[in-house]
Structure 1
Amino acid sequence: MTVTVGVVDDGSLAFRGVVEVLNGAPDATLVGVFPSLGAVLALEVVPDVLITDRYCADAAQQVRQARQARQFVACPGVLVVSGSADLGPAQVALSAGALGYLGPYASADTLLRAVDTVGSGDCYVTGRYREAIHPPRPVPATRDDATVGARPLSERERDVLTLVAQGLTHKQIASRLSLSKATVDTYVHRLRQKTGMSNKAGLTRVAMGFDAPG
């Protein structure tokens, strides 16, 4: 499936490179380069992924309001491609609701993987940012004792949770664990119930508390 992408251009040389990569991508369609988030949300059909250099609480609120006003079935997943290596902006963006975050040294292949992952509704954040933003909590003595609150996670649920945090789609997780996609869907549904998290970004934050398998 081809992912549609919109870019909010900050006028930087880095974003020219982003546009060039997208124009040459076989599985991504660039629908346009826009001067603001509002210009994207005003489209009759919004893209699957929105790439920007920053994403804050105000922007997240703008997306929510647009969805309520126009009854969007889905709003774009936001992927931040930052020219700064600082961790502070990453924390702000992900806390506000961005699904992906790439630093200034991301490769073209990494960008395309992130676009595909965010377009599927999953979270894509490089390991460095995940570790810095969500420091691991104390790890249970054994995997069998792992819990979220008072609700224990099975070993297989933890395997799925780990792969969700790594940015894999349900189909990719199914292939990795030799399961059907429907079974993975069921595991993710259970994880959401047990953790109280409604999306993949929330599950990623939960996963940072475990010494999960790679």
Structure 2
Amino acid sequence: MIRVGVVDDHPIARRGVEHLLHETGRVKVVAAAGSLGELAAAMEAAESPADFDVIVLDLYHDGGAPCLDAVARLAGSSRVLVMSASGQPKDVMGAIRAGASGYITKHADDAMFVAAVETVAAGGFALSAPLADILQAELGPSAAAGPVKGRQPSGARQAELSAREEETLNLIASGFTHAQVATRMGVSKATVETYVERIRAKLQIGNKAQLTRAALERLGGTGPV
């Protein structure tokens, strides 16, 4: 059973998420709250408090600014799936840079949302399909240009990747499967998997969430935008 915490300041939205996840029979909403403070209080009051497998966090739950600091704080101890009405690249990239393991818009259908929760709980990275092309457009030209001048390069940006490895990294970070990357690049899936293994070895990273963050770091800057 996947244990989930939900933070959204709209009561109807919270209840909708709770109901949807409960219906799966595979997910238990341990606590749902309108703010992080309420979530913490709910957990303190619980008879058997436990860590969350995933925290579903509304990016704009606390006023007019994206809660990137909250994403970063929560990501230190839990996997965070950001949920937002916004599909703006600055919000998507800011959340992932802050440590989110996924980003899904509130326009997603039920099946996509449940799949995102399960993917993030399993240690993967989830991204709403419509956001993939947006993120790819943001990553492509800038990532190829290399680190931003005047910034101290991180471990991810110090490593030298070949042009094909950079292309592979950007596509995977944008949410494409290995088979889809192979089609776009005009190579076999086995070749893509070889590129991925080389990327992981060079950047010393593991899962897809880390691959995505590495691509964003190469775009320029590790902090929220």
Asked whether the two chains share a fold, i.e. TM above 0.5, the reply is yes
More helix as a share of residues: 2
Distance in 1 (alpha carbons) for counterparts of 2:15 and 2:172:
32
1:52-97 CA-to-partner distances (Å, cap 9, x unmatched) read 1116332144336xx5xxxxxxx22111111234443223212211
1:150 equivalenced with 2:152 (yes/no): no
Classify the secondary structure of the residue corresponding to 2:5.
strand
Classify the secondary structure of the residue corresponding to 1:29.
strand
Distance in 2 (alpha carbons) for counterparts of 1:86 and 1:130:
12
Distance in 1 (alpha carbons) for counterparts of 2:169 and 2:72:
30
Structure 2's unaligned 5+ residue stretches are 60-65, 145-157, 178-188, 219-225
When residues 21 and 91 of structure 1 are mapped into structure 2, their CA distance, relative to the original with a 3 A threshold, is same
AA at the equivalent of 2:175: Q
1:116 equivalenced with 2:118 (yes/no): yes
AA at the equivalent of 1:203: L
Classify the secondary structure of the residue corresponding to 1:24.
helix
When residues 161 and 34 of structure 1 are mapped into structure 2, their CA distance, relative to the original with a 3 A threshold, is same
Q: 5 Å matches for 1:35-114?
A: 35-38=34-37, 39-40=39-40, 44-54=49-59, 56-63=67-74, 75-114=77-116
More deviation in 47-56 or 128-137? 128-137
1:154-213 CA-to-partner distances (Å, cap 9, x unmatched) read 99xx98996676387xxxxxxxx79xxxxx9xx97764331244653231255699xxxx
Percent identity (aligned) = 29
Classify the secondary structure of the residue corresponding to 2:139.
coil
1:15 equivalenced with 2:17 (yes/no): no
Report what 2:212 is aligned to: 204
Report what 2:203 is aligned to: 195
1:31 equivalenced with 2:30 (yes/no): yes
Distance in 2 (alpha carbons) for counterparts of 1:116 and 1:58:
24
Superposed CA RMSD: 3.9
Distance in 2 (alpha carbons) for counterparts of 1:62 and 1:163:
26
Distance in 1 (alpha carbons) for counterparts of 2:93 and 2:162:
28
Distance in 1 (alpha carbons) for counterparts of 2:16 and 2:116:
15
AA at the equivalent of 2:208: K
AA at the equivalent of 1:166: G
Q: May I ask how many residue pairs the two structures share in their alignment?
A: 177
Structure 1's unaligned 5+ residue stretches are 68-74, 141-147, 169-176, 179-183, 210-214
Distance in 2 (alpha carbons) for counterparts of 1:35 and 1:103:
18
AA at the equivalent of 1:6: G
Q: Taking structure 1 as the reference length, what is the TM-score of the superposition?
A: 0.62
Q: 5 Å matches for 1:130-145?
A: 130-133=132-135, 134-137=138-141
Shift of 1:105: 1.2
